[in-house]
Amino acid sequence: MAFDWLTKFQQDTEKDPQYAEKKLAAYQLGMKAKGAIVGVGIEKSARCCAAAQELPEGQVYDPKTAPHLPLPGCPQGRRCGCVYRPVMRYQAASESLDIPRT
């Protein structure tokens, strides 16, 4: 994929203490603006913790109710490799995703 380097960078970079709040607020603004974002997904890293492994695959969260990353008890703390990804309208149309109705 063309942006593998970006994914690796985001997963390897220490997260800002306000990572969850900032990312989720940005995605919520995109949804309020009736843009292409329909929700938020969590991309798990290859070295994710047990709590992250328990998260359902393909789950689309409303930014207001999405789990905060890093997950509580994650042994990697702010070095957690799990990241938020916007779920776009075109993805929802082509994939079977559990999209929250707001």
pTM: 0.78
Give dist(CA 81, CA 74) in Å, integer. 10
22-28-33 Cα angle (round to 5)? 130
Query: How confident is the prediction along the chain (102 residues), in pLDDT tens digits per residue?
Result: 566 877 788 888 888 999 999 999 998 988 888 888 999 999 999 889 999 999 998 899 999 999 999 999 999 999 999 999 999 988 765 555 555 554
Place of tokens 């329909």: 38
* 24 CB-contact burial (10 Å; exposed 0-12 / middle 13-18 / buried 19+): buried
Domain boundaries, the chain: 17-94
